[in-house]
Amino acid sequence: MNLAASGLVLCLTTVTLTGCGAVSGLAGDNEVTLKVVAADYGDKPENSSKPYWKELAASFEKKHPGIKVQVDVYSWTDVDAKVAEMVKAGEAPDIAQIGAYADYAAEGKLYSADELLSVTTEADFLAPLADAGKVRRNQYGLPFVASTRLMFYNEKLFADAGIIPKDGKTPWQPKSWAELEAAAKKLKAAGVPTPLALPLGREEAQAETMQWLLAGGGGYADNEENYSIDSADNVNTLKFLRDKLVGAGLTGPVEPAKLNRQDAFDSFSRGEVGMLNGHPTLLKQAAAKGVKYGMTPMPTADGAGHPTMGVADWVMAFKTGHQTQSGKFLDFLYEANNVTAFTEKYDLLPVTTSGSRAMEAATGASSAELKTFLHALPNARLYPVGKKSWAAVSEDVKKNIGTAVQPGGQPEKVLGDLAEMARKAEPR
């Protein structure tokens, strides 16, 4: 990625195209209606994703009068199950924008990227995201939007606790967990209800866990994408959380296993939390409540640099016989103006080089804050979403990881059980 304003460079994935273009036997453009299923990123009717897709479809149809586009938008609670139901009934949509693709790719139900996209579109994806969309080295998952994570901290609470000067001119820039622990102790001594929020409840425990594992030098998978859930680094990370943070009373009155991400965000926005890991949606929420906050990269176990966490949602095209038409729509979807129209509305990150350049060129306070997250993307590690077993592993993390960090918890056993389940769930 060539980020114009920062000078950061991210190499693009090299691609070989083998299947672009029309396929014999397909219906002509004049006979096709593409069925698209998408997730709703809004949390109320006023900011629903439906208008975006309606306008996108209308604009596409003007340029391709022979192809109609029917888009059905469902809540995140329902969309994955809806697509699974359609596929099971033999009525798969042409295109789905949902949370995971690997199951469908493993079953041979999806077109690969090089069977759909133009050279320009395929080469435009940011390399870490394109790589995360691969199964057996072929890309089936097309990244839709992305986000990274930074640590947010309440500037007033930090100043009152003597961690940063009250003039607000010197930001908090910790490198190590020792510095993080010291700050949490000062916040507790100053009477802050929750010095550090540790949301390991069901809502997004897999994300919070991955952030800490990466910062501890581990992760769910190694550099070859083999599971490494029960590695020594991961065990040590959970022991740090158990003994130095939770056991020391630095994570607040709600035990981590029962604290959900949004509840933690709400508490931060009420001024009750000193620091927590957050994604871009916290920007507006905290600002709306008048909370002055700072952001810093996640400190690490040894103070050295480790990858940060990235998250992407996915687009996939099912083998419905509309390969050419689906490819045309996807090329249109990934045009820079269409990408940025969506990411700007929901404070998310573009998944393409052209979209990243557009965000870099944008001005304003909101854009400046989003660029901080954007600059973390080149070094990001994503969930091992290319593994068919990941959905089951993620669910198991949500159910059990919180017990490992409670007083008396057993990190070795919890991670060992997770690793064994993952090995059994992953096809050979």
Q: Is the pLDDT of residue 24 over 60?
A: no
Q: Assign domain 150-309+387-425 to a CATH class.
A: alpha beta
Three-class DSSP labels, 106-162: HCCCECCHHHCCCHHHHHHECHHHHHHCEECCEECCEEEEEEECEEEEEHHHHHHCC
The residue among 302, 133, 286 whose CA lies nearest residue 218 is 302
The residue among 146, 142, 148, 145 whose CA lies nearest residue 15 is 142
Q: Please indicate whether the domains covering 29-148+310-381 and 150-309+387-425 agree at the CATH topology level.
A: yes
pLDDT of residue 427: 66
- Specify the residue for token string 């909370």: 291
* pLDDT-based confidence at residue 407 (cuts at 50, 70, 90): very high
pLDDT 10s digits, 244-286: 999 999 999 999 999 999 999 999 999 999 999 999 889 989 9
- Specify the residue for token string 């404070």: 347
From 164-168, 223-227, 319-323, the region with the lowest mean pLDDT: 223-227
Contact in structure between 349 and 374 (CB atoms under 8 Å): yes
* pLDDT-based confidence at residue 365 (cuts at 50, 70, 90): low
Integer Cα distance of 326 and 312 in angstroms: 21
pLDDT 10s digits, 158-207: 999 999 999 878 999 999 999 999 999 999 999 999 999 999 998 889 99
Mean pLDDT of 33-62: 94
Single-letter amino acid, residue 74: Y
For the domain with range 29-148+310-381, which CATH number is right: 3.40.50.300, 3.40.190.10, 3.30.300.130, 3.90.79.10?
A: 3.40.190.10
Q: Is the pLDDT of residue 60 over 50?
A: yes
pLDDT: which is higher, 306 or 238: 238
| Residue ranges per structural domain of the chain | 29-148+310-381, 150-309+387-425
> How confident is the prediction for the chain on average, in pLDDT?
89
* pLDDT-based confidence at residue 366 (cuts at 50, 70, 90): low
pLDDT of residue 182: 98
Q: Is the pLDDT of residue 3 over 60?
A: no
* pLDDT-based confidence at residue 12 (cuts at 50, 70, 90): very low
From 27-36, 88-97, 100-109, 309-318, the region with the lowest mean pLDDT: 27-36
